[in-house]
């Protein structure tokens, strides 16, 4: 592993863990494609994922977690 890659991986791991609430093991178990899909999702299209209102509705409906 190059020093450049190692530094980038550590920064990306910190970012993902803070933004998504993941543990480091979750980050290292994820593929680059999975992480890219999470951050690149287009919520403006109907097929692009949930918007905040839809997420709040689902969270309210399933309060048990």
Number of domains in the chain: 1
What was the pLDDT predicted at 58?
A: 77
- Per-10-residue mean pLDDT for the chain, 65 residues long? 77 85 89 83 58 80 70
Q: Whole domain around residue 37: which residue ranges?
A: 3-61
What was the pLDDT predicted at 1?
A: 57
DSSP 20-48: H---HHHHHHS-HHHHHHHHH--TTSTTS
What was the pLDDT predicted at 8?
A: 84
The length of the chain is 65
Helix or strand or coil: residue 44?
Answer: coil
């Amino acid at each position: 592993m190059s020093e450049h890659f190692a530094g980038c991986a550590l920064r990306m791991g910190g970012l993902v863990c803070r933004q998504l609430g993941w543990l480091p093991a979750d980050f290292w178990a994820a593929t680059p494609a999975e992480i890219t899909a999470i951050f690149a999702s287009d919520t403006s299209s109907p097929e692009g994922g949930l918007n905040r209102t839809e997420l709040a509705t689902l969270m309210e409906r399933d309060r048990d977690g």
